[in-house]
């Protein structure tokens, strides 16, 4: 397998991004990208020689200071001042894997030749990525409108020898990092600071990471839900394709097909039932899980467009001899998509907790709280409390951030997307869903043990055998925190093929 990904004009697919991350591939610029970057910078240099008229962000101030003309001898200082003054992020540090994605997506966006950056600047970003030099970026500070200004300023600071980076397992100053690699700070030319700071790479990096994780959790929700269904002595009839062909939402059809496949040749699902219907949390998995799948497809479409786009400002068009100040940095498409992702994934957690509740309720031959000697043992009573608490928190996190807007820059930036808040809220919410599913799996595995000697499908039995080597049957009360953490780690570390996740 080629362990180098070449940045080019070829569409960057989510599955490709997943492979780059999974195999820890290095990146390089294609000859096409190098040519586009150089040609655009050459055009801008030549254009600026005789340019006396103001061009926003190139020889003017920024935001509401757009009318302030800057002399040619101050253009480098203008760009460096921009990076430093906008580096006012605060709050928690952005996770390293998200920062690394920000670097990759920023390189991708600058490679199209509409941003006017030096090749040297882009190559240094490539060096950062390939050497795991990860700038310290903070979660708070972006309005998601003029690009992710504060986060991207922190991403750019080390280019000029400022700020901090994570390297070799520790935080160090950019200056110390430069000495280690024997690198010199980049001297930013006209427009470069603005090209680095304008853009949606903070929102996009969060979105890409969370979408990949959400696809995996969607798959797991179907699989764990199938285990719970079998452990609850549920019925297979609601998953018959005939039911779903007369209401043929794609996600619904896919979920029903998956569950039928997961439960194929299950002794438990095939046995005669004493009941004619199951609760909605089991029976309606195709409709609920499926609606989330359809939402993920919408988010995927939006994100795919975004990560293959030019999102800084102004945009340079060489052939048309135009430098146009527009609004491609505005994060509204991502803000709406990330809010939609939050709502859809919250519902996966919501219905999962309901299945957990059914499993511990002493129904259909299962012991109350899934433990022998209930009363002496509380058993699985409180893990459901934990899941319920997280579900409630997710309902609050799922409130759309994109419906808010606060005026900034003296009214020049009078509508903002708040997509960065959508992104960080989505991060917490999606990881919460993983915890809720881990608790359901813990309960379903315990419940399935009470069904022996009857068995589930070969696929589920093989999975549970692996799971139960890490998380064993609970015979009497123990510290459930430890079991939940092990269950979360099991899901997080479990590898699923891309074609199964993204199919």
Domain ranges of the chain: 4-199, 206-313+322-501
Q: 321: alpha, beta or left, given left = phi > 0 and alpha = psi -120 to 50?
A: left
Q: 299: alpha, beta or left, given left = phi > 0 and alpha = psi -120 to 50?
A: alpha
Q: How far is CA 91 from the centre of its chain?
A: 19
pLDDT recorded at residue 182: 97
Distance CA(116)–CA(72), nearest Å, equals: 16
| pLDDT at 62 exceeding the cut of 70 | no
Residue 401 tokens, joined? 């951030």
3-class secondary structure, 349: helix
Residue 108 tokens, joined? 């991708």
Residue 203 tokens, joined? 């929102």
Average pLDDT (145-163) is 95
User: Span 206-313+322-501: which CATH code?
Assistant: 1.20.200.10
Residue 24 tokens, joined? 């820890």
Q: 392: alpha, beta or left, given left = phi > 0 and alpha = psi -120 to 50?
A: alpha
pLDDT recorded at residue 67: 62
Distance CA(447)–CA(228), nearest Å, equals: 8
Cis-peptide, bond into residue 274, ω within 30° of zero: no
Distance CA(204)–CA(446), nearest Å, equals: 39
Contact indicator for 250, 329 with CB cutoff of 8 Å: no
Q: 169: alpha, beta or left, given left = phi > 0 and alpha = psi -120 to 50?
A: left
pLDDT recorded at residue 415: 86
pLDDT tens digits, 240-290:
999 999 999 999 999 999 999 999 999 999 999 999 999 999 999 999 999
pLDDT recorded at residue 164: 98
Q: String of b and e for 8-25 (b: at least 16 CB within 10 Å)?
A: beeebebeebbebbeeeb
Distance CA(262)–CA(284), nearest Å, equals: 16
Distance CA(157)–CA(264), nearest Å, equals: 55
pLDDT recorded at residue 321: 93
Contact indicator for 66, 141 with CB cutoff of 8 Å: no
Q: String of b and e for 432-469 (b: at least 16 CB within 10 Å)?
A: bbbbbbbbbbbbbbbbbeebeeebbbebbeebbeebee
* Predicted confidence band of residue 374 (pLDDT cuts 50, 70, 90): confident
149 to 328, 417, 477: CA distances (angstroms): 13, 13, 51
pLDDT tens digits, 341-358:
999 999 999 999 999 999
**Helix 332-359 to helix 285-307 angle, to the nearest 10 degrees?**
150
Q: String of b and e for 288-327 (b: at least 16 CB within 10 Å)?
A: bbbbbbebbeebbebbbebbbbbbbbbbbebeeeebeeee
Contact indicator for 303, 207 with CB cutoff of 8 Å: yes
pLDDT recorded at residue 497: 82
253 to 26, 247, 250, 299, 415: CA distances (angstroms): 38, 9, 5, 19, 40
Geometric angle at alpha carbon 304, from 259 and 398, rounded to 5°: 65
Tell me what percent of the residues of the chain surpass a pLDDT of 70.
Answer: 96
- Cα dihedral angle (411, 309, 498, 496), rounded to 10 degrees? -30
- Going by their DSSP bridges, the two strands 164-167 and 170-173 should be labelled as antiparallel
Long-range contacts of 28-32 (CB under 8 A, 24+ apart): 28/4, 28/126, 29/107, 29/111, 29/122, 29/123, 29/126, 30/6, 30/111, 32/8
| Placement of tokens 């362990």 in the chain | 3
pLDDT recorded at residue 195: 95
Distance CA(223)–CA(257), nearest Å, equals: 11
- The whole-model pTM stands at 0.95
Long-range contacts of 184-188 (CB under 8 A, 24+ apart): 185/159, 185/160, 185/161, 186/118, 186/120, 186/121, 186/124, 186/159, 186/160, 187/76, 188/76, 188/79, 188/80, 188/83, 188/121, 188/159, 188/160
Q: Is residue 357 annotated as a catalytic residue, yes or no?
A: no
* Predicted confidence band of residue 51 (pLDDT cuts 50, 70, 90): low
Could you give phi then psi for residue 69, rounded to 5 degrees?
A: -80, 135
Contact indicator for 439, 484 with CB cutoff of 8 Å: yes
Out of 43, 56, 215, 467, the active site residue is 56
Strand (E) or helix (H) holding 322? strand 322-324
pLDDT tens digits, 247-261:
999 999 999 999 999
Same fold, 4-199 and 206-313+322-501: no
Neighbours of 161 (CB within 10 A): 17
pLDDT tens digits, 466-502:
999 999 999 999 999 999 999 999 999 998 888 778 7
Distance CA(285)–CA(259), nearest Å, equals: 9
The CATH architecture that domain 4-199 belongs to is: Orthogonal Bundle (1.10)
pLDDT recorded at residue 180: 97
* CA neighbor of 284 nearest in space, from 262, 251, 261: 251
| pLDDT at 66 exceeding the cut of 60 | no
* CA neighbor of 140 nearest in space, from 132, 130, 151, 129: 151
Q: Which stretches of 284-331 are DSSP H helices?
A: 285-307
């Amino acid at each position: 397998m080629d362990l180098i990904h070449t940045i080019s004009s070829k569409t960057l697919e989510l599955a490709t991004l997943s492979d780059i991350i999974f195999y820890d591939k290095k990146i390089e610029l294609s000859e096409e990208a190098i040519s586009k970057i150089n040609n655009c910078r050459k055009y801008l240099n030549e254009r600026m020689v005789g340019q006396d008229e103001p061009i926003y962000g190139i020889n003017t101030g920024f935001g509401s200071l757009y009318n302030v003309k800057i002399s040619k001898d101050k253009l480098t200082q203008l760009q460096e001042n921009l990076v430093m003054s906008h580096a006012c992020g605060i709050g928690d540090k952005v996770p390293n894997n998200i920062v690394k994605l920000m670097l990759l997506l920023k390189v991708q966006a600058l490679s199209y030749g509409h941003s006017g950056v030096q090749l040297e600047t882009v190559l240094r970003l490539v060096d950062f990525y390939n050497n795991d030099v990860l700038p310290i970026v903070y979660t708070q500070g972006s309005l998601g409108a003029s690009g992710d200004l504060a986060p991207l300023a922190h991403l750019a600071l080390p280019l000029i020898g400022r700020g901090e980076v994570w390297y070799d397992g520790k935080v160090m100053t950019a200056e110390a990092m430069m000495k280690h690699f024997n690198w010199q700070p980049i001297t930013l030319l006209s427009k470069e600071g603005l090209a680095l700071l304008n853009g949606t790479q903070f929102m996009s990096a969060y979105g890409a990471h969370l979408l990949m994780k959400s696809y995996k959790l969607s798959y797991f929700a179907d699989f764990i839900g199938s285990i719970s269904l079998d452990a609850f002595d549920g019925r297979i009839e609601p998953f018959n394709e005939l039911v779903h062909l007369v209401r043929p939402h794609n996600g619904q059809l896919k979920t029903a097909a998956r569950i039928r496949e997961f439960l194929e040749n299950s002794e438990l699902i095939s046995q005669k039932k004493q009941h004619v219907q199951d609760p909605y949390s089991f029976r309606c998995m195709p409709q609920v899980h499926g609606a989330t799948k359809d939402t993920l497809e919408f988010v995927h479409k939006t994100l795919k467009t975004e990560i293959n786009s030019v999102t800084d400002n102004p945009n340079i068009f060489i052939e048309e001899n135009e430098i146009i100040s527009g609004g491609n940095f505005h994060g509204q498409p991502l803000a709406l998509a990330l809010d939609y992702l939050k709502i859809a994934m919250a519902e996966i957690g919501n219905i999962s907790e309901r299945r957990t509740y059914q499993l511990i309720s002493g129904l259909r031959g299962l012991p109350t709280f899934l433990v022998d000697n209930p009363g002496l043992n509380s058993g699985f009573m409180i893990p459901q409390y934990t899941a319920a608490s997280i579900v409630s928190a997710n309902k609050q996190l799922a409130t759309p951030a994109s419906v808010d807007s606060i005026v900034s820059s003296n009214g020049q930036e009078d509508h903002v997307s708040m997509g960065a808040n959508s992104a960080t809220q989505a991060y917490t919410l999606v990881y919460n869903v993983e915890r809720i599913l881990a608790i359901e799996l813990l309960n379903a595995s315990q419940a399935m043990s009470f069904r022996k000697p009857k068995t589930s499908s070969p696929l589920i039995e093989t999975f549970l055998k692996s799971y139960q080597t890490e998380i064993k049957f609970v015979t009497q009360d123990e510290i459930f925190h430890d079991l939940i953490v092990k269950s979360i780690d099991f899901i997080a570390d479990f590898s699923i093929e891309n074609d199964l996740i993204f199919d």
